[in-house]
């Protein structure tokens, strides 16, 4: 996470230099901040004046002073990083409580006392909690993709300690990590079937734990605006990696994506498991989708008038299942490139040449993924990536560099 050492630290160290020792918690904290930077747990920043002071402060361990010296050489880049991040920590001598939460514009600021990080365990890499480990991996992959496509202004790495909460039991993991004074970011599905719909049980329980501890913890929850992570990916991008399975369903969903009037509905349709009759028997849900079902009458397997006649578990729109795994492999990893290499090894034939051209076109699109995202999901992709980067950013400094 981005951690800024405030200039007030100089005043504190100067004022108390007669009573501070190597064993003072404030000094331990400053040593641990340097170690967290060196180990790649977090990204520490500060002003030129403060870093210059810290690199010469005699009570700070020599190896840690070397880290502050290395940071001094990079401090011209810190302002842009601070501007980019949505959330960060400020270490200051100007707070009475251990943690004071607040906002600066839209930025979420956690002000902590200078001695807060005197225990190294408190400054281990950010704990990243989601319902399943695969969720954490997916969110980190798209954040890395964002960094890759914005390398000219974001030269950093990510370090997040992934923690799968186990579905509805995620709140227990959150409670445990908070009580261990961990820095914690949670990303959760909303599970909503329409914008004003009820959130899922997992998010509801997580929110209760968050409300209980938020005032005294470095923790944040990001609830997806879309139903679940599968809805973040537009049908047009699923089609880039489709090998034939679910293609009919994806083409139908892509038809919705092309309709200005209806594409927002793709954020809430259960595209993973499909739409069952019992969902559309809910009056609010049906009203949300009714115009779409009129404009695209072949979307579901029966007419509007016949929905109530269907058994609750009847699937009216097939889901795409685990298609997101193909997206991760082909688009967020190097799956398309491997397919292209395989095709190039084959004996040249017209159909092979055509497949090669198609793969090359897909790879070109994926190279600038954020530029081809449709407007209905692009803002959430960008905000989610900035959130994950803010909590996971680091730039390790090898031991011995000074």
Model confidence band, residue 180 (pLDDT cutoffs 50, 70, 90): very high
Pairing of strands 99-104, 107-113: antiparallel
Give the global pTM: 0.94
Q: Render pLDDT for 344-354 as a digit per residue (tens, 0 to 9).
A: 888 778 888 88
Token reading at 179: 């009580």
In whole angstroms, what separates CA 216 from the centre of its chain?
A: 23
Q: Give the pLDDT confidence score for residue 398 in this predicted structure.
A: 65
Question: Is pLDDT above 90 for 5?
Answer: yes
**CB contact at 8 A, 129 and 163:** yes
Residue 400 has pLDDT above 90, yes or no: no
Q: How confident is the model at residue 167 (pLDDT cuts 50, 70, 90)?
A: confident
What confidence tens digit (pLDDT) does each residue in 90-109 have?
A: 999 999 889 999 988 889 99
Q: Tell me the two tokens of residue 388.
A: 């994950």
Average pLDDT over residues 208-226: 97
Q: What does the pLDDT read at residue 399?
A: 57
For residues 149 and 115, is the Cβ–Cβ distance under 8 A? no
Exposed/middle/buried for residue 137 (C-beta within 10 Å: 0-12, 13-18, 19+): middle
Query: Pseudo-torsion of CA 347, 348, 349, 351, nearest 10°?
Result: 100
Nearest one of 395, 390, 383 to 88, comparing CA atoms: 390
Higher pLDDT, 58 or 346: 58
User: Residue 397: pLDDT above 90?
Assistant: no
Secondary structure of 36-80 in HEC code, one letter for each residue: HHHCCCCEEEECHHHHHHHHCCCCCCHHHHHHHHHHHCCHHHHHH
- Find tokens 């090359």 and name the residue: 360
Angle between helices 48-55 and 8-15 (to 10 degrees): 30
pLDDT interval class at 402 (50, 70, 90): very low
Is the Cβ–Cβ distance between 40 and 3 less than 8 Å?
no
What b/e string do you get for 281-308 counting C-beta neighbours within 10 Å, with b at 16 or more? eeeebbebbeebbeebeebbeeeeeebe
Higher-confidence position of 97 and 85: 85
pLDDT digit string, tens, across residues 287-332: 999 999 999 999 999 999 999 999 999 999 999 999 999 999 999 9
The mean per-residue pLDDT over the stretch 253-268 comes to 97
Instruction: In whole angstroms, give the CA distance from residue 142 to residue 332.
Output: 7
């Amino acid at each position: 996470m981005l951690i800024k050492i405030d200039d007030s630290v100089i005043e504190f160290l100067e004022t108390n230099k007669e009573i501070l020792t190597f064993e003072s918690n404030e000094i331990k904290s400053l040593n641990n901040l340097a170690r967290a930077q060196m180990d790649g747990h977090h990204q520490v920043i500060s002003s030129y004046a403060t870093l210059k002071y810290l690199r010469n402060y005699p009570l700070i361990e020599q190896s840690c002073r070397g880290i502050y010296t290395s940071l001094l050489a990079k401090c011209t880049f810190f302002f842009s990083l601070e501007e980019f991040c949505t959330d960060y920590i400020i270490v200051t001598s100007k707070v009475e409580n251990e943690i004071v939460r607040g906002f600066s514009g839209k930025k979420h600021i956690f002000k902590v006392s200078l001695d807060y990080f005197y225990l190294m365990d408190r400054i281990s890499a950010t704990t990243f909690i989601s319902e399943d480990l695969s969720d954490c991996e997916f969110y980190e992959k798209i954040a890395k993709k964002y960094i890759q496509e914005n390398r000219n202004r974001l030269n950093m790495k990510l370090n997040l300690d992934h923690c799968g909460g186990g579905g509805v039991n995620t709140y227990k993991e959150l409670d445990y990590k908070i009580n261990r004074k961990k820095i914690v970011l949670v990303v959760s599905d909303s599970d909503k079937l329409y914008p004003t719909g009820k959130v899922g049980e997992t998010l509801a329980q997580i929110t209760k734990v968050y409300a209980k501890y938020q005032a005294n913890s470095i923790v944040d929850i990001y609830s997806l605006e879309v139903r679940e992570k599968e809805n973040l990916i537009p049908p047009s991008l699923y089609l880039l990696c489709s090998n034939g399975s679910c293609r009919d369903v994806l083409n139908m969903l892509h038809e919705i994506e092309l309709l200005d009037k209806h594409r927002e509905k793709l954020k809430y349709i259960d595209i993973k498991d499909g739409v069952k009759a019992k969902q559309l028997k809910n009056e609010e849900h049906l009203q949300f989708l009714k115009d779409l079902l009129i404009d695209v009458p072949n979307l579901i397997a029966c007419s509007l008038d016949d929905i109530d006649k269907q058994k609750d578990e009847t699937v009216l729109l097939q889901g795409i299942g685990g298609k997101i795994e193909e997206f991760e492999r082909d688009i967020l990893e190097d799956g398309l490139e491997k397919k292209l290499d395989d095709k190039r090894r084959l004996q040249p034939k017209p159909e092979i040449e055509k497949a090669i051209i198609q793969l090359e076109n897909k790879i070109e699109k994926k190279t600038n993924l954020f530029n081809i995202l449709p407007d209905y999901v692009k803002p959430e992709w960008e905000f989610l990536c900035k959130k994950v980067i803010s909590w996971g950013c680091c730039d390790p400094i090898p031991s011995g560099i000074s």
